[in-house]
Amino acid sequence: MINLSTGAFFTRSTRQIGTLRAEANRLQQQVGSGEKLARSSEDPVAAARLRTLSRQERLATIDQGTSDRATHNLQLTDSSLGSIADVITRAQVLATQAANATLPPAQRAAIGIEVEDLRQALLLIANGRDGAGGALFGGEGAGAAYVESDGVVTYAGSPETAPFELGEGQQVIPGLTGPEVLAFDVDGAPSDLFTVLGQLATALQGDVADPAGAAREALSGLDAGLEKVTTAQTIIGARMGWVELMDNRRLGMGELMAEERDSIGGADLATTITKLQEVMTVLEATQASFVKLSSLSLFSLLR
């Protein structure tokens, strides 16, 4: 009877201590990781939902990266449009000066040289690069947006710009093609800013009979060009606003997912630490009792 009771005591005590240690380890893991579930088997439904949230969070991270690239390209485009507007504004001032019929030829020729410099500056701006090194105004083209041959500048990019995915089925076009900014109609005839500036520079340097009249005609083209650029700035501003709206929405959804994750799988640290302290106290007491009782021999019991 004593042998059977002693064996049962050792088995029961060992099992109890093992259970307490396992519980303590589980609680310690929760405190360390902040997660309530160590294994999916503990709560399969909650674990499945946590996996879904993890996938959504990973997709949101990818979408945010795309959104950041779109924002960068749109900011570059907006800055370039501002520079193009400055070029046009300066050209308008110069054309107004050159339209004065009493202006000496030498001064008019000097203005023509500055206009040509503006055309070259415009070419540099139009061939700017986006965040990935592609042509900012070249659409999906791999090379330069504009090329110059024999003094004539032509568009070498693609007709469209590929959209960026922002998530939730939403997209944004992260820029504009060159013609969307620099091409326009003057009195019903197609033209572009390079043509207007090139013709003005040539006229002012003495290649036409009426350079003052040519300057006045150029003002109409410059006005149309500035209007086209202003419209482009409005479009880019609207797209930047749309990206910001999607960013804010993604941020809000991320906060909601984080709250849900905490409610499903997050460990309440205060409660968990309290439980851990309770388990450790019981474990220590159980171990102490086991050591004390197991040290008793048969002779001690018979005395």
Instruction: Look up the CATH number of the domain holding residue 148.
Output: 1.20.1330.10
Alpha-carbon span 193 to 84, nearest angstrom: 10
Residues 101 and 242 in one domain: yes
Please say if the pLDDT value at position 218 is more than 70: yes
Instruction: Kindly indicate the confidence band of residue 264, based on its pLDDT and cuts at 50, 70 and 90.
Output: confident
Domain assignment of residue 50, yes or no: no
- In this model, does residue 213 exceed pLDDT 60? yes
Could you tell me the pTM of the whole model? 0.74
Residue 123 lies in a domain: yes
Identify the pLDDT of residue 283: 58
Q: Which domain holds residue 13?
A: 2-34+267-302
Domain membership flag for residue 280: yes
Is 112 found in the same domain as 20?
no
The answer to whether position 43 is within a domain reads: no
Residues 120 and 198 in one domain: yes
Model pLDDT for residues 17-60, shown as the tens digit of each residue: 666 565 555 555 654 555 555 555 566 776 777 778 788 888 88
What does pLDDT average to over the chain? 83
In a domain, 105, yes or no: yes
pLDDT tier at 302 (50, 70, 90 boundaries)? very low
pLDDT for 112 equals 96
Residue 20 lies in a domain: yes
Count of structural domains, the chain: 2
Residues 255 and 273 in one domain: no
Same domain, 149 and 23: no
Domain boundary among 259, 275, 292: 259
Contact 83, 234 (CB under 8 A): no
Is residue 187 domain-resident? Answer: yes
Query: 88 and 196 share a domain?
Result: yes
Q: How many CA atoms lie within 13 A of 40 on its CB side?
A: 7
- Residue-level pLDDT at 287: 64
Residues 205 and 69 in one domain: yes
Percent of the chain clearing pLDDT 90 (strictly above): 58
Q: Are residues 27 and 66 in the same domain?
A: no
In a domain, 89, yes or no: yes
Binned at pLDDT 50, 70 and 90, residue 4 comes out as very low
Domain termination residue (choose one: 259, 276, 293)? 259
More confident: 296 or 113:
113
In a shared domain, residues 202 and 78: yes
Residues 140 and 17 in one domain: no
- At 260 the pLDDT is 73
Q: CA 114 to CA 92: how far, in whole Å?
A: 12
pLDDT digits (tens, 9 = 90+) for 117-155: 999 999 999 999 998 899 999 999 879 999 999 999 999
Regarding whether 122 and 11 lie in a shared domain, the answer is: no
Question: What is the percent of the chain where pLDDT is above 70?
Answer: 72
Tell which wins on pLDDT, 292 or 109.
Answer: 109
At 221-257, the pLDDT tens digits run 999 999 999 999 999 999 999 999 999 999 998 888 7
Pair (104, 178) in one structural domain: yes
pLDDT of residue 286: 63
In whole angstroms, give the CA distance from residue 302 to residue 158: 101
- Determine the pLDDT at residue 298: 45
Q: At what angle do helices 44-98 and 193-202 cross, to 10 degrees?
A: 20
Q: Which residues pair with 171 in a beta bridge?
A: 165
| Separation of alpha carbons 269 and 290, rounded Å | 31
